[in-house]
Structure 1
């Protein structure tokens, strides 16, 4: 009996040490989490959201208002929904067959979408879907995530991972988890020229490149680096810039944030909204410089993986890094708050997995 137990123990140890996993973890130094202090002092200003039904759809990951005054919402089914700002007259505007995570409108009213399963798409005002790009220099755009369109027509995209494509790894959550656990920092910022049908790399070396917006003068890109809790400022004119190398063309605007920064959205009065999909997790940070331990943990059933708690959190900031508003819901009743879509009278809260669209009256949380 003892011999059998010893053999089983050897097999178990061998499994946790040597069973193949899809990641090759890279060691990095995670800064100590700041917690909810200072400008991020815990509050409940995001609690008690009013909800708009999405008719059995879920995951309003990106929300934007079109020139027609209607809200457009990308959801998990691959649909893009369209509805009035008060939630009425909900309809399916388009279906991409994938999962749109971010989009913007060009000057012709086309919806330019980053579909994590398909590529960069253009959706006409009547809902016709056209592929713009899914490769750059024969290299696949594996994880298109967020999009912003400049006034000159240039399209800027975050390609979150050069290693893990959602279409290959069971979806966006699975692929993002693998990329962030690995920390190989293969995320990129791309520029696509629709007139020339050409793409180039603006910057690379980001640990899960995510939300993206342009500065008011359109000379700078603000980019969320989800895997390392940072927001970057990157010059539009940068070319294949490795952000791990010091350069006047890239600087960190926010470092060591209290959660995983997700989407970025332009709001009124020149403010920029940022959402945190999840708060920090002490075990995950502890494993940052322990690649072997991360491999071992990945061999456990998912129920035993260290996962961040659910915590609602969004903030607004200026282009020079001043935090203007910080709204939280420690209960996490509305899950994975990825950002805020600000209209004249409302704040619509984006989410990875919510089954409804949350909103708040602006005056109740921002004042006049």
Structure 2
């Protein structure tokens, strides 16, 4: 009996130490999380969201008003829904067969989409889908995440990970967890010129490159680095920026740091605001493993329900281009899960989500200047 238990224990220890895992974790230093203190003082301003029913669809990850005045929302099934701003007259406008995580409209009314499975897509007003880009500088796009279109027509795209493709690793959420736990910082930002059909990497070495937003003068790009709880401001039209290189990092501005959660989408709001959604709150378990790569490997050998994925906690905030927090809205109960971003109109704030079963919204009570 005792011998059997010892053998079982030995096999268990051997499994936890030696079983193959998909990650090769890298040590890093996490800054101590001091809790929900100003300007992120705990509140419940996001707890009373109203919902727009989207039927059997889930995960309105990205929402935007189109040039036609209709509201568009990318959902988990690969569909992009179209509806009136109040949610009426809903239809499936198109289905890409992938998973669109971000989109923007160009000057010709085309919807430019970052599809995590397919790359950079163009969808015409007639709903014709074409692939603009599926590789950059000879390397495939594994996790197209967010996209913006500049006034000069150039397109900027985040490729979240060069290690964990969304299709190959079980979907967008699963791949993001693996990438952040490994922390190898292979995310990159790509500039694509539709006129020349050329693509260039303008920044890399980012731990899960996520949301992006152009500055008002379009000379800089704001970039959410999800895995390190921060938002950068990087200059466009400059030599490629390697963000883990100390010399290069001096050319970038850290606008937000030590956020209380994982920053996701960046969206331009009204009056110069930029909104960011914190998809999950920070967790001490993950921070405490930052300098212990071996422990992160052991964690991934546990059943998935034991992985250190933080609980649901609704949290979105707005900041100006200098990083000053202007609004901070929270739902500690996480009733509306994985708040990935905010779409602001004069009448409403629409709350984006990776997994919610409807579109959350609340009246926009901020008076415009």
Q: TM-score range by the shorter chain?
A: over 0.9
Aligned mates of 1:234, 1:163 — CA distance in 2:
23
Question: Normalized against structure 1, the TM-score is what?
Answer: 0.98
1:298 to 300, 303, 319: 300
Q: For 1:324, what is the secondary structure of its paired residue?
A: strand
Structure 2 residue aligned with 1:170: 170
Q: Is the 8 A contact 2:65 2:72 kept in 1?
A: yes
Distance of 1:167 and 1:331 partners within structure 2: 31
What is the DSSP-based 3-state SS (H/G/I as helix, E as strand, rest coil) of the residue aligned with 2:35?
Answer: coil
Residues 317 and 327 in structure 2, CA contact (< 8 A), matched pair in contact too: yes
Query: Residue 92 of structure 1 corresponds to which residue in structure 2?
Result: 92
Q: CA deviation at 1:47?
A: 1.5
User: Corresponding residue for 1:181?
Assistant: 181
- Which of 243, 261, 264 in structure 1 is aligned with 2:263? 261
In 1: Cα distance, 2:367 partner to 2:139 partner: 48
Match of 2:32 in 1: 32
User: Would you say the 8 A contact 1:57–1:76 is kept in 2?
Assistant: yes
User: d(CA) in 2 for partners of 1:224 and 1:327?
Assistant: 18
1:212-270 deviations in Å (ceiling 9; x for gaps): 00000000000000000010011112333111123343121111110000000001101
Does residue 64 of structure 2 align to residue 64 of structure 1? yes
1:17-71 Cα distance to aligned partner (Å, 9 max, x none): 0000010000000001131111100111112111100011010000000110000
Determine the C-alpha separation between the residues in 1 that align with 2:32 and 2:93: 44
Residue 161 of structure 2 aligns with which residue? 161
Give the SS at the match of 1:39: coil
Give the superposition deviation at 1:138.
2.1
- How many Å separate the matches in 1 of 2:295 and 2:238? 36
What does residue 358 of structure 2 align with?
A: 356
Gaps of 5+ in 2: none
SS, match of residue 287 in structure 2? helix
Task: Confirm or deny: 8 A CA contact 1:233 1:251 kept in the other structure.
Answer: yes
Q: Match of 1:322?
A: 324
Q: Give the match's secondary structure for 1:38.
A: coil
> RMSD between aligned alpha carbons?
1.0
Distance 1:286 1:214 in 2: 34
Aligned residues: 366
Q: Does structure 1 conserve the Cα–Cα contact (< 8 Å) formed by 2:137 and 2:201?
A: no
1-structure distance, mates of 2:6, 2:337: 45
SS in 2 for 1:181: helix
Instruction: Tell me if the contact between 1:105 and 1:112 (Cα under 8 Å) persists in the aligned partners.
Output: yes
Structure 1 stretches of at least 4 aligned residues deviating more than 3 Å after TM superposition: none
Matches within 5 A, 1:4-83: 4-83=4-83
* TM-score, length basis structure 2: 0.98
Aligned position for 1:116: 116
Q: Is the 8 A contact 1:64 1:72 kept in 2?
A: yes
Give the superposition deviation at 1:367.
4.6
C-alpha contact 2:286 2:308 (8 A) present in aligned 1: yes
Structure 1 regions of 5+ residues with no counterpart? Answer: none
Whether the 8 Å CA contact 1:203–1:238 is kept in 2: the answer is: no
Task: Work out whether residues 100 and 113 of structure 1, in 8 Å CA contact, stay in contact via their aligned partners in 2.
Answer: yes
